[in-house]
A and B are shown apart, each in its own frame.
Chain A
Amino acid sequence: MRGLESGERRWLGDVVTDTELIRALPHPSVSQGDNWGEKWAMARKSLFLVSLAALISSPAFGEIGRIKTTLGTASVQRGAEHIPAATGQELMPGDWLETGKDGRISLTFVDNTRWSVGPDSRIALTKFDYDPTSQKGVFVAQIERGSIAAVSGRITKTRCDPVPESSCGVQIKTPDGDITPRGTRFIIVVPR
């Protein structure tokens, strides 16, 4: 018999959803005592938490990218907090990348955009909304000072009409003008 690419077959090791697991629990019955229902509710709850924990293998919610390498003085400002930059560190919308005179940061974004940040930089990752399914999104950054080399990711491959449009594409703000890369490799230097 030709196997189905997917079927109703269930076997050991199958991944089932939370609701399936919870439904599979024995239902309370009168013979099991009065508070069995309560215990069952607790079991449901703890099982839900356990299975939830097992399912969380994806990166942090809201993550827009990660730091790959750092050199010298480099940090991420998140709100009032200054976090020393470290390999593997997750980045969130609203973060500021800061480097000192000897500092460098390299990073990648979830749409495969790649950046290299030079010394004496202060750069905001103002907005980053990316839908991995449609591969569309919007990315707004602000270079207050400093420099980047960048290789565009999926987000800039989206053609926006008209340009710039608030819901689409990439915009990098500098004190001397706004820069919109469209699928390319480029360098921006903003002197102090």
Chain B
Amino acid sequence: MRRRDFAIFAILALAGCAHSTSVVLLPDEDGGHGEVAIVKPGAAGGETVVSQPNSRATLRGSQPVIRPLGARGLKPNEAALLTGLPPAAKSFTLYFVEGTTNMTAESAPVLDAIRAEITERPGAEVQVTGHTDTVGAESDNDALSRRRAEEILNLLASKGFDRGIMSAVGRGERELKEPTADNVGSAANRRVEVIVR
């Protein structure tokens, strides 16, 4: 490479990397991918969409420049950011005896797994959502689903977890796991979902 060319290359590289905003689109953790839309301030031309995963968009000039990450991949500071991401939220399901706030025997080990998960995560938060099947009145099921969620929250609190990190809501028969007609008993729908974040 000639000296002058190298100088131009270096200037472009500096301008592109060090002094303008960049956006890297990555594949999702499950292998799929979304997209990122970029709108330059005062741009009349609307948005530029980055839709290929493993691309880098540099927001310089009037239009963003999009290039594949290529063999060099991420820069060290970008890779460090990815490493620093908190783990994905984890979801658990507990099942209940019909008409009650009593967990089924099979669900007891799941509660242990929830406790282990909370202990493992720094700054853990717990979201408890109660559900019922479609037997009985909707309003009664709202109350029952809330009691189921509160039962689990209380069980966790009794094991020493701070109530300030937990929340409980009841969704009644609004979000069936197994779709059924009204007044149909379903073990799959009598449940509490616990998300540990």
Contact = CB atoms under 8 A, between A and B. Distances in A.
Interface of A: 2-9, 14-15, 56-60, 66-69, 87-89, 104, 106-108, 112, 114-118, 132, 143, 147-149, 151-152, 156, 163-164, 174-191
B196 to A, nearest CB: 11
Interface of B: 18-29, 33-41, 43, 47, 59-60, 64, 74, 77-78, 80-86, 88-89, 98-100, 121-123, 125, 132-137, 140-141, 143-144, 146-147, 150, 153, 157, 163-169, 185, 190, 195, 197
B98 A189 contact: no
Contacts of B20: 176, 191
Given A5-B136, A185-B26, A179 B38 contact: yes
Contacts of B64: 177
B36 A181 contact: yes
Contact of A149 (B39, B84, B168): B84
A66 B123 contact: yes
Contacts, number: 200
A105 B83 CA distance: 12
Q: 9 nearest interchain CB pairs?
A: A184-B34, A6-B140, A5-B135, A116-B84, A183-B34, A149-B81, A176-B59, A58-B167, A3-B99
Contact of A151 (B23, B85, B132, B143): B85
Contacts of A5: 98-99, 132-136, 141, 144, 185, 190
A116 B81 contact: yes
